[in-house]
Chains A and B, each alone.
Chain A
């Protein structure tokens, strides 16, 4: 009797917990759901004072966005900048991270942390003035260089802990065989930390893809990346809700896919190593 009631109470409790969990997930996902919904509705449905939940989905918004707005060009710009800055970030960042891990260069680690903590906007006024003087506004060079500041510290910070996990004995064995530092780094250390490198690279890529502030000021018609292009959608005469939704979906989609690929590393990256994946 008693245990029956207890079991029921436990089951109710269980149910309550699942309900709460479901609620949390619904709240978390709702804006995304709304984004997709908006992107699939016509302007009439989108501006109805009472939300239209059931409607005939249309791809018109996507068509308009892609065709009418050089969206492919912006995507290309975003890709180029993100790929270049991530690539250079790896070339510069991996040896630095290794060096910090091996030689316990804590001062350098701190400097990189400070660079990550300082508000990005602090760099922007001098950058703007310098790039303006050098005629580098609206060039891939300027955007890549600035995005490097987003990606490189991230790569270094994530990789330090990966390199620390590589057993020193393996490296020493390589030295005994006559390998150089550089050779050992490439042939022993890097392969062992490949998963970490991939995760760091993807995370750096995502952060460059999402970067808004630098691009807002330093990009132009030749280099305008997607976030700035999407920003131009707002306060545009009568707001084109559907187009906005479609653009938001298109810009978010690659990020979501990449996240699915490396989800267990992302936490460690976002928290600057406070949590390991």
Chain B
């Protein structure tokens, strides 16, 4: 019945748009459709969720956001896209993480045909406005397969008041300085420094150290480069830092543990994604002292320079979706200029240049955050994961070496093993 009705509506709309020729973009064209998106429990999702009724009113499309904590979100998404579920219309995705796998298996719908069709893409979308580095991660050889929602890099969050107490000035500029600072700040009550350590989840953070020590994911021949001298140095630096100046049980830290430690004043410095500024500034989650005294700095310099990885999250249309156009409508709306601006105001590092130029944003956001974020984008390295298909398993193998290092085991051996493991894993899917 509903299908018949929406069929009628469709016909009516096509006729109407034909007459009105691009006079005004017709948001109501897919009225009555429903779309379902799988979302990561992420500050962007927290920002977007309450706005969804606006979209539903604008378009008459019914939206369900299914939200899961990150690990479950990934698993869920994989299960659904691979099962070819037509009821799944779109999802949050990081091309740098699963792009190769999803494109290879044809689970993502390319949207070029939508973009070229003025009856499907609002003239206000303005693709040029997205940061090149962000948009390009959504471009494959076959075209565009989604839009970026944020461009994320990790920053050093630090407490200026504790720095002053310890007689430290300004943020640490080198990794060696970072170590000294952590040592000076560390006490029984307050950890000097905290960072993710929970196996696979830590890989997206430790990659910053890997690059800055001059390491790489892969050798020129495509084999894993994790056993290299630089990789060993970075892991041993990391383990030393967390084992000596970190909170108890570092191998258990995911970002939410790291951030709540910091928000509760139990760590003097943490290194994690800039997007978590929203947690630090939330009176319900962070203590007053933390909120008032937090400053931000880019990744300190290592022997190989300061080379932060840049993570781009975005929204894509599911290949099997039974209403891809409605899903594309949702994506356009969710990432419109105004919504990206609002997202950035709420602390999500939006992917549009215009959002960052916004005066209100520049007036309200902490200066050190804006500066540190922009600096990181400029130096950003795109591959924050090894560009391979079985990425979950590869992350897991590296994650095991990270946990081993945190437990004080032999780092060279752990990395050798991880590298061999990864080569085996990758060779299996070739």
Contacts and interface: CB of A to CB of B under 8 A. Distances in A.
Contacts of A221: 36, 64, 66, 87
A222 B85 CA distance: 12
Nearest to B73: A232
A258 interface: no
Contact of B256 (A135, A222, A231, A235): A235
A135 B41 CA distance: 28
Contacts of B66: 221
A221 B87 CA distance: 9
A45 interface: no
A237 B255 CA distance: 8
Nearest to B76: A220
Contacts of B68: 232
Given A132-B82, A132-B83, A221-B87, A232 B256 contact: no
Interface residues on B, range: 20 to 34
Given A217-B79, A220-B80, A234 B85 contact: no
Contacts of B123: none
Contact of B260 (A131, A220, A238): A238
Given A221-B66, A232-B69, A232-B72, A237 B41 contact: yes
B254 interface: yes
A235 B69 contact: yes
Interface residues of A, number: 17
A8 B72 CA distance: 61
B285 interface: yes
B71 interface: yes
26 contacts: A132-B82, A137-B79, A137-B85, A138-B85, A217-B79, A220-B80, A220-B87, A221-B66, A221-B87, A222-B87, A231-B72, A232-B68, A232-B72, A235-B70, A235-B72, A235-B254, A235-B256, A236-B41, A236-B69, A237-B41, A237-B256, A237-B279, A238-B256, A238-B260, A238-B279, A238-B285
Question: B interface, by DSSP: helix, strand, loop or mixed?
Answer: mixed
Contacts of B70: 235
Interface of B: 36, 41, 64, 66, 68-72, 79-80, 82-85, 87, 254, 256, 260, 279, 285
Question: A interface, by DSSP: helix, strand, loop or mixed?
Answer: loop
Interface string A215-236: 0010011100000000110111
Nearest to A221: B66
Interface of A: 131-132, 135, 137-138, 217, 220-222, 231-232, 234-239
A222 B68 CA distance: 15
Nearest to A218: B79
Interface centre among A131, A234, A237 (most CB of B within 10 A): A237
Contacts of A237: 41, 69, 256, 279
B285 A137 contact: no
Contacts of A138: 83, 85, 87
A268 B69 CA distance: 39
Contacts of A132: 82-84
A138 B84 CA distance: 12
A135 B84 contact: yes
Given A232-B68, A234-B69, A235-B72, 5 more contacts: A132-B83, A137-B85, A235-B70, A238-B256, A238-B260
B41 A220 contact: no
Interface centre among A137, A217, A222 (most CB of B within 10 A): A137
A220 B69 contact: no
A135 B70 CA distance: 26
A132 B84 CA distance: 8
Contact of B71 (A137, A217, A235, A239): A235
A239 B68 CA distance: 13
A152 B85 CA distance: 30
Sort A-B residue pairs by CB-CB distance and give the 4 closest, nearest first: A137-B83, A132-B83, A235-B69, A236-B69
B4 to A, nearest CB: 23
B254 to A, nearest CB: 7
A65 to B, nearest CB: 15
A146 B69 CA distance: 26
A220 B256 contact: no
A239 B80 CA distance: 26
Nearest to B285: A238
Contacts of B71: 235
A262 B83 CA distance: 40
A236 B256 CA distance: 8
Nearest to B68: A232
A26 B328 CA distance: 57
Contacts of B256: 235, 237-239
